[in-house]
Amino acid sequence: MKKILFYLKLFLILLCFFILYNKVNADYIKYILILFLLPLSMLSRKINITYYIAICATAVFTAFFTFGFSHETLIILLIFVPMIPVLLLFSNRKIIQYPNLKKRNNELRFYKEELINEEKSLSDKRESLEKKLERITHFYIISKDLTKNMDVPEDLANGLLNILETRVGVCYVVITTKNNSEIEKNGKKNLKILSRLNEQKKGQWFSLINNNEEIASLKGPAIVKSLFNIENKPVIAWPMIIDKQLNSCTFLVVEPEYSQIYLEEGEFFIPHLKLGTKRIMLFSELKEKARIDGLTGLFLKRFFLGKLYSEIEIAKRYNTVFYLMMLDIDHFKNINDTYGHLVGDEVLKATANTISSSVRRGDIVGRYGGEEFIVMLPSITQAKVVDIAEKIRKNIKNINFKDGKKSFSVTISIGISKYDKSTDIDTLIGNADKALYKAKNSGRDNIIVYESND
């Protein structure tokens, strides 16, 4: 087939030449056309001696029939014929010098393909790394935005739920945190569920995640096999391990084809989220220390006064009244001088616990300073306030303190004042202080309600 195409191509070239040659009348143009056959014979990609001889013979015979035995024909002969041995020489040298050229070409082609494949592999790796970098940056921004303006873990959990539930392949999300208020008989703390699930589904999750050894042993993102039967889909766990303890855990119920993606994303996301969580925990701890007295566990004076200001504004708006109670341990200096400050601290703590356990839920108790305490009682009658004060007085008096073999008890004096719309905060506190001073001067271990004619 190749030979047929070759001869057909040669025939067409010569046919075109003779057609053009016959249309030309001038001898010098015919001479140029014959000479033009020389470069035309070199158009072949490979050295083809048959092709050249055919062109050469055409040129010589055409010149002979056109110009006869003349110098033009001689020049044509001198130009075309010597090229035949030269071409034969080069074609033979090619065969002798490069017998394995095809093999070498195949080897080079193989190396070229290897280089192309390697380039493609490197390009794919680079694209994969760029995507990972993009995801890391994306999660860093998300975690930074999540924790920037959030002060409590619940806010962080709600923000995380809003983000994760909208992601592709995620069916729903369950976030759990330590529930310090519920402790099992075996001493293990339950996990509190933060999610938008119905009660039945929450109950199912609660029973499966608590006291789950697989979850307790998590060190990083993993598929929790024991939770597969919840939805018959993979459940990806993102554990939040802080100070070598499981602080919280995020569970993502995902479509099977997305499980590997969210395992990888957990690796990116958890370190950023952990830093934000630590910041929130430290902030909450500092905030708690700023409002809670370290010894008694009661509100500090500054925080209590803030609550008192708020209660006054509420009372003004709704035209209501409330009561303020000031309490002072009698002869507390003598207790410190006699038994020492450590025993004195125990007296303060016991007194604070007694006051806190004697008031109603919603009443605000604070440490006003030293051995002085203050209580705000909203929405209450005077008779009920006096009853609560009497309960506190009796309970404190009945506490038996011990210092080695010695035992003793303490008493407390209480002053009570009432807020109405004509009273400001300084007057309210001042009236309670006056009533307390009067209780002290009336023999201590006493309760006095401030009256305007006092």
Same structural domain, 381 and 311: yes
Domain identity same for 227 and 310: no
Q: In this predicted model, what pLDDT tens digit does every residue of 414-429 receive, in sequence order?
A: 999 999 887 899 999 9
d(CA 128, CA 113): 22
Q: Is residue 120 in some structural domain?
A: no
**Residues 79-123 pLDDT 10s:** 777 777 766 666 554 444 455 777 788 888 888 888 898 888 888
Residue 252: is its pLDDT beyond 80?
Answer: yes
Q: What is the mean pLDDT of the chain?
A: 81
Look at residues 73, 97, 121 and tell me which one is the last residue of a structural domain.
97
Which amino acid appears at position 79 of this protein?
A: I
Residue 139 lies in a domain: no
pLDDT attached to residue 360: 93
Phi, psi for 337 (deg, rounded to 5) = -70, -35
Q: Using one digit for the tens of pLDDT, what is the confidence trace for 127-180?
A: 877 777 776 666 666 556 555 544 445 566 677 777 777 788 888 888 887 755
Position 322 scores a pLDDT of 95
Split at pLDDT 50, 70, 90, the class of 42 is low
SS3 of the chain: CHHHHHHHHHHHHHHHHHHHHHHCCCHHHHHHHHHHHHHHHCCCCCCCHHHHHHHHHHHHHHHHHHHCCCHHHHHHHHHHCCHHHHHHHHHHHHHHHCCCHHHHHHHHHHHHHHHHHHHHHHHHHHHHHHHHHHHHHHHHHHHHHHHHCCCCHHHHHHHHHHHHCCCCCEEEEEEEEEEEEEECCCCCEEEEEECCCCHHHHHHHHHHHCCCHHHHCCCCCEECHHHHHHCCCCEEEEEEEECCEEEEEEEEEECHHHHHHHHHHHHHHHHHHHHHHHHHHHHHHHHHHHHECCCCCCECHHHHHHHHHHHHHHHHHHCCCEEEEEEEECCHHHHHHHHCHHHHHHHHHHHHHHHHHHCCCCCEEEEEECCEEEEEEECCCHHHHHHHHHHHHHHHHCCCEEECCEEECCCEEEEEEEECCCCCHHHHHHHHHHHHHHHHHCCCCCEEECCCCC
Domain-embedded: residue 24: yes
Q: Is the pLDDT of residue 444 over 90?
A: yes
More confident residue, 101 or 241: 241
Among residues 234, 255, 289, which one ends one of the domains?
289
Domain boundary residue, one of 97, 123, 145: 97
- The reported pLDDT for the residue numbered 45 is 56
Q: What is the pLDDT of residue 182?
A: 44
Residues 85 and 206 in one domain: no
- Distance from C-alpha of 389 to C-alpha of 28, rounded to nearest angstrom: 137
Contacts of 266 (CB under 8 A, 6+ apart): 220, 221, 236, 238
pLDDT one-digit tens code per residue, 328-340: 999 999 999 999 9
**pLDDT average, residue stretch 352-359:** 95
Inside any domain, residue 394? yes
- Residue 121 domain flag: no
Range of the domain at 90: 2-97
Domains of the chain: total: 3
Asked if residue 429 and residue 390 are part of one domain, the reply reads yes
Q: Which pTM was predicted?
A: 0.47
CA atoms 81, 13, 5, 58: torsion sign: negative
67 with 174, same domain? no
322 and 409 inside one domain: yes
Lowest average pLDDT, out of 217-221, 370-374, 411-415, goes to 217-221
Q: What is the mean pLDDT of residues 350-365?
A: 94
Residue 353 to residues 186, 314, 373, Cα–Cα distance (Å): 28, 28, 11
Better-predicted residue by pLDDT, 449 or 241? 449
Q: What is the pLDDT of residue 183?
A: 41
The band of 309, judged by pLDDT with boundaries at 50, 70 and 90, is very high
Sequence-distant (6+) residues with CB within 8 A of 444 are 330, 331, 411, 413
Looking at the structure, do residues 239 and 347 belong to the same domain, yes or no?
A: no
Estimate to the nearest angstrom the gap between the alpha carbon of 163 and the chain centroid.
10
Has residue 192 been placed in a domain?
yes
State pLDDT tens for residues 2-30.
Answer: 678 767 877 787 788 778 778 777 777 77
The verdict on 361 and 281 lying in the same domain is no
Same domain, 434 and 341: yes
294 in any annotated domain: no
Query: Is residue 257 domain-shared with residue 378, that is, in the same domain?
Result: no
More reliable by pLDDT, 210 or 396: 396
Has residue 63 got a pLDDT over 90? no
- Predicted local distance difference test score (pLDDT) of residue 242: 78
d(CA 225, CA 229): 8
| 184 has a pLDDT exceeding 60 | no
- Asked if pLDDT for residue 386 goes beyond 90, the answer is yes
Does residue 122 lie within any of the structural domains?
no
- pLDDT reading at 308 higher than 70: yes
Same domain, 277 and 305: no
CATH number assigned to the domain comprising residue 189: 3.30.450
| Residue 322 and residue 358 in one domain | yes
